[in-house]
Amino acid sequence: MAVITHQLTLSLPAHEKYEIGSQLRRASQSIKDNIVEGYGRRRYKNEFVRFLIFAHASLLETRSQLEMVNELYSTPKSIELIIKYDELGKMINSFQNYVQNQWDTSHNKPPKANNL
């Protein structure tokens, strides 16, 4: 979705590519980056949850920027993306709840070093 959002921003008027377009690109990329960084810290449940919260916050920022684009330029792609980001928000929220309540960190520990 970040790629599609990026492509949408490139179709905006030139002055918007560097204003709202830049902010929208950064926010949409931040969603996936925070999920990935949180997964990298998955052995620490609280850290993982924290980054999922950041991802959801970036999603809300992305959605807000898309609403602005839609208000200004009425693009069908922005409406489609808003709907998809709403679905993604529900998935992130469900995953965050799963990690908070059911994530088992015992399987995510590094293997013991061999005694050489």
Computed from CA positions of residues 88, 33, 50, 54, in that sequence, does the dihedral angle turn out positive or negative? negative
pLDDT value of residue 112: 56
**Which residue carries 């309540």 as its tokens?**
101
Kindly report, residue by residue over 21-42, the tens digit of the pLDDT.
Answer: 999 999 999 999 999 999 999 9
In a domain, 30, yes or no: yes
In a domain, 114, yes or no: no
CATH number (domain holding residue 59): 1.20.1440.60
pLDDT value of residue 68: 96
In a domain, 57, yes or no: yes
Q: What is the band of 114 on the pLDDT scale with cuts at 50, 70, 90?
A: low
Q: Is the pLDDT of residue 110 over 70?
A: no
In a domain, 110, yes or no: no
Q: What is the band of 13 on the pLDDT scale with cuts at 50, 70, 90?
A: very high
> How many other CB atoms are found less than 10 A from the CB of residue 16?
17
Kindly report, residue by residue over 37-85, the tens digit of the pLDDT.
Answer: 999 999 999 999 999 999 999 999 999 999 999 999 998 999 999 999 9
In a domain, 69, yes or no: yes
Q: Is the pLDDT of residue 106 over 90?
A: no
In a domain, 36, yes or no: yes
In a domain, 111, yes or no: no
Task: Provide the residue range defining the domain that includes 70.
Answer: 2-101
Number of domains in the chain: 1
The full DSSP string for 76-110 is HHHHHHHHHHHHHHHHHHHHHHHHHHH--GGGGSP
pTM for this predicted structure: 0.87
